[in-house]
Structure 1
Amino acid sequence: MTEKLFYKDPYICEANCEIERILDKGDKFEIVLKSTPFYPEGGGQPNDLGYIDDIEVSYVYEEDDVIYHVVDRKPEGSVVKCKVDYERRVDHIQQHSGEHLLSAAFFKLFKVSNAGFHLGEDYVTVDMEFKDATEEMIKNVEKEVNLYVFKNEPIKTYFLSKEEALKLPLRKEIKAEGNIRMVQMGENTDFSACCGTHANRTGEIGLVKIIKYEKYKGMTRVYFKCGYRALKDYQVKHDYIVELTRTFSADPSEISNKIKNQKEEVIELKKKIGSLYASIASNKAQELLDSATNKFILAQYENEGFELMEKIYDELKEKDFILILSTLKDKKLILCQNGRFDFDCGKVFKETLKDFGGRGGGNANRAQASFEDKNLLNKYIEYLKENL
């Protein structure tokens, strides 16, 4: 059995430890120490990372009360210096302790249990066993959990038999057997069985901020951040707000209305542009019809984009012509015919387009393609004129 120093002090991250044995796993070695500050993966919490002497520890796991430290080479001495990544440890302490309090708040307010917990590098989630969460419910939970934090109550850990543990006011069923490690927050805020590392007092969690929530497999998945993660999240979002206040020359409280007004203006402008494009397209289509002398209508536009080209296509798609429209600005091409000509537009593209560095496709009457190079676009247009 490995002595777990992190249970004596959750913040201990350095210690001189005696090697018990080393297992050779081919390209890796697994070191077993008589005592260790390294927390192994378990209880929904990732393992610690760090160094044994100057050797990087890439993974730590526990099996039958023995903790294994995975490294890529053997240490030289029998006593080694262990150094755990302190920032990672503190982060895990804050997130895991915050999860306990958040789950306790949900249980107190709505009598719902936590069915899942994930502590990742970028986000932390809990899956609460109810479907129809509302914004007001989530805000009430967030207020409640931070009241627990601000009370700065002590957090105690101790071992009990399962029979003794079941006498406590637990919010979640205990499935483990044998000696149960209990985590008690405050006098009666929360009692949970857990093997993870936790703060000494609730105030060390710093802050619990719910980022978002969503429906998930008949439950509600809640995303949140605690402590330093919450601070970093606030700093990033604060920078966004500062930039927006400068851009809009407005107070933070006015930004939402400013964006809403600009969005409405953009929608209105798009309608006007669409109407203008339709008028321009109608005139250009008529010009092409008036100047057409054979079965082809070919038009290439240097500065106009694909949107205008499509509107011209809409004006001409039913006419008795093979239509080849292209835009040099977007390096795109449309080929179409009204069904009265003996070829399939999509099939032509499928068989020949790749020879000219183009990508695209379509059906019998219409196909479109894009090109990386304007010269290849024009070469393909010449190919179509010669072969259709």
Structure 2
Amino acid sequence: MKDRLYYQDAYVKTFTAEVTKRGVEENGTPYVVLSQTAFYPTGGGQPSDHGHLGETRVIDVEEVDGEVRHRLASPIPEEMVQLEGSIDWERRFDHMQQHAGQHILSASFLEVVGAETVAFHLGKERVTIDVRLDELTPEVWEAVEQRANQIVLENRPISARFVDDEELATLPLKKQPTVTENIRVVIIPDFDYNPCGGTHPAHTGEVGMIKILGWERHRGNIRLEFICGWRALRDYTRKQAMVREVSKLLMTSDAELIAQAERLVAERDTMKQSLLEKERQLLEVEVRQYLAQADQLGGVRLLEIAFSDRSIQQLQQFAHQAVAQAPDVVCLLAATGEKLQLVFARGAEVDVAVNQLIKDTLPLIDGKGGGNAAMAQGGGQPNRPVHEVLDHAKQLLKAALS
């Protein structure tokens, strides 16, 4: 492990190394192997480092068959055998903050409620851990978060070293290692002893604030989303700006923001109900006007109407209102647009199964639909004039009434 500079010192940002191997991955991506490297390869839930070898961008790093492959944006010229490497420090330190934060948060869950962490993922924006818990109450959430941040503020040292079997047996490990050789343990004294191959800061204070953002149930466990350090500060800054903008829009203070929002929601709901009632009244009048001019067909009143600006839900509302006002009516309604929508309905005094009418009409427009004998609906392609489709249904109705 002497060629892995990130294990010797996680703060190494630049280094010099010789190219010991060149290659190309199956997807065509060039890579090099170096005599030593400060680039951390993907592993243990932590993404790889990025950076440069000379002027060439390192876009991914992975250990394959015991060698660390530095995948490149472009090939390095053959004549270049010694390279200056530099890692993207902002990315590396962010990963150090988040990974150490995960150790602290997981140890806090274990200490506060005896819940072990069974999975960890360090994402580009958020970090998640899966904790073996049946439920997560606000009281537990707050207690764990407070304990984690207490460890941060105490600025305890974080050390990491490779141990032999004899020393390993003396350590109070939180979990057993997944490898049998080159076992490395990350230690926060009197708090956390964890087998881990990732990079970490030297003190807990460098992790910065640990903030849990939310949680959900996942495969019988609790999956928590959290962020640390600079991520947490950026998130707080963004959300504070949002609070200021919303407060300005609502012309209220931060302290009154929730109460003002609740008042607006209540007003919106009242206005929505009032609008729905007005729309119902207008629809009632509209239907009454149509019924007054309805044609007669086989002893029933027929409303055969094509609309150009209504949804199928609005057609259904029209039909419901019509059959409520006139038990002797049959509605053959259509709405044109990207699809041709149909709603057929009949009043209680009409002995016609409109679901059969629509079933025999929908093939004209390659449509699908369904319903019952009193009301049915469907839609299809506007490949025929709407009057032709409704006239077809009208002829079917005429035959059914005779």
**TM-score after normalising by structure 1:** 0.86
Structure 1 residue corresponding to 2:156, chosen from 153, 170, 181: 153
Q: Which residue of 2 aligns with 1:269?
A: 271
Aligned to 1:49: 50
CA distance in 1, matches of 2:234, 2:185: 31
Give the deviation of 1:240 after TM superposition.
1.7
Instruction: Tell me the secondary structure at the aligned position of residue 20 of structure 1.
Output: strand
CA spacing shift, 1:123–1:332, aligned 2, 3 Å: farther
State how 1:254-293 maps to structure 2 within 5 Å.
Answer: 254-293=256-295
Structure 1 stretch 226-235 or stretch 274-283: which is displaced more? 274-283
The equivalent residue for 1:367 is 377
* Correspondence 1:384 to 2:389: yes
Kept after mapping to 2: 8 A contact 1:2/1:33: no
Residues 1:321 and 2:322 are matched in the alignment: no
**2:343 alignment partner in structure 1:** 335
Identity %: 27
Q: Which residue of 2 aligns with 1:125?
A: 128
CA radius of gyration, larger in: 2
Do the aligned partners of residues 111 and 292 (structure 1) sit closer, same or farther apart at CA in structure 2, a change above 3 Å counting?
A: same
Structure 1 pair 132–335 and aligned structure 2 pair: CA distance change class (3 A):
closer
Change (3 A) 1:254 1:300: farther
Superposition pairs for residues 1-388 of structure 1, below 5 Å? 3-25=3-25, 27-71=28-72, 72-76=74-78, 77-185=80-188, 187-295=189-297, 296-299=302-305, 309-317=315-323, 319-326=328-335, 333-338=341-346, 339-340=352-353, 344-345=357-358, 348-349=361-362, 351-352=364-365, 361-363=369-371, 365-369=375-379, 380-388=385-393
SS at the partner of 2:285?
helix
CA contact (8 A) 1:62 1:68 kept: yes
Instruction: Give 2:376's aligned amino acid.
Output: R
Output one character per residue of 1:53-72: Cα deviation in whole Å (capped at 9) or x when no partner. 23332321114542111235
- Match of 2:398? none
| Greater mean alpha carbon deviation, residues 311-320 or residues 209-218 | 311-320
Please report how far the alpha carbon of residue 164 of structure 1 lies from its aligned counterpart in structure 2 after TM superposition: 1.2
Does the C-alpha gap of structure 1 residues 136 and 69 become closer, same or farther in structure 2, counting only changes over 3 Å? same
Q: State how far apart, in whole Å, the 2-side matches of 1:93 and 1:132 are.
A: 29
Partner Cα separation in structure 1 for residue 133 and residue 67 of structure 2 = 38
User: How far apart are 1:131 and its partner, in Å?
Assistant: 1.1
Q: CA deviation at 1:368?
A: 4.8
Tell me how many residue pairs correspond in the alignment.
376
How far did residue 383 of structure 1 move? Answer: 2.6
Distance 2:107 2:39 in 1: 28
Output the CA distance in 2 between the equivalents of 1:79 and 1:346. Answer: 77
Q: SS state of the match for residue 332, structure 2? A: strand
Which segment is superposed worse, 81-90 or 18-27? 18-27
- Mapped partners of 2:148, 2:140: distance in 1: 12
For the 8 Å contact 1:2–1:66, the answer to whether it is kept is no
